[in-house]
């Protein structure tokens, strides 16, 4: 879909192709240890890194305002979507490119 003139908060949207979630700059995953020593953040990885998760084609979400773990949304390029997935590797709210979405309601 093309970016609408206003953000359609509350509308349902569907992915038209798979969306690979962005990984964090710290590359943290469940099980990793995080400590602060002498004012510095230290991480200890709990094993091999898993690939970034993919939200499959056809998944329906809702356009919502919400926290975004990687920074600020660029509304000209992406839409804030909450898919309601119970996966600790996927942020609650994702910035999904407009071209990967269609209205589902």
pLDDT tens for the chain, 105 residues long, are 777 777 788 999 999 999 998 876 667 777 889 899 999 988 888 888 888 889 999 999 999 876 544 456 778 888 889 998 888 778 888 889 999 999 998
- Scan for tokens 């920074």, then name that residue: 71
pLDDT at residue 4, as a whole number: 79
pLDDT at residue 57, as a whole number: 96
Q: Where are the domains of the chain?
A: 12-103
| DSSP annotation string for 83-95 | -----TTS-SSEE
In terms of Cα–Cα distance, which of 29, 30, 84, 26 is closest to 55? 84
Residue 65 to residue 7: CA distance in whole angstroms: 10
Helix (H, G, I), strand (E, B) or coil at 7: coil
pTM: 0.72
Would you give the end-to-end CA distance of the chain in angstroms?
14
pLDDT at residue 46, as a whole number: 86
In terms of Cα–Cα distance, which of 36, 31, 14, 38 is closest to 101? 14
């Amino acid at each position: 879909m093309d970016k609408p003139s206003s953000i359609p908060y509350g509308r349902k949207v569907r992915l038209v192709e798979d969306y690979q979630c962005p990984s964090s700059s710290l590359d943290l995953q469940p099980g990793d240890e995080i400590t602060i020593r002498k004012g510095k953040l230290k991480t200890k990885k709990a094993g091999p890194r898993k690939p970034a998760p993919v939200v499959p084609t056809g998944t329906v979400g809702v356009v919502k305002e919400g926290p975004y773990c990687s920074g600020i949304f660029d509304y000209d390029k992406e839409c804030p979507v909450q898919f309601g997935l119970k996966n600790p590797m996927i942020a609650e709210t994702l910035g999904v490119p407009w071209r990967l979405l269609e209205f589902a309601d």
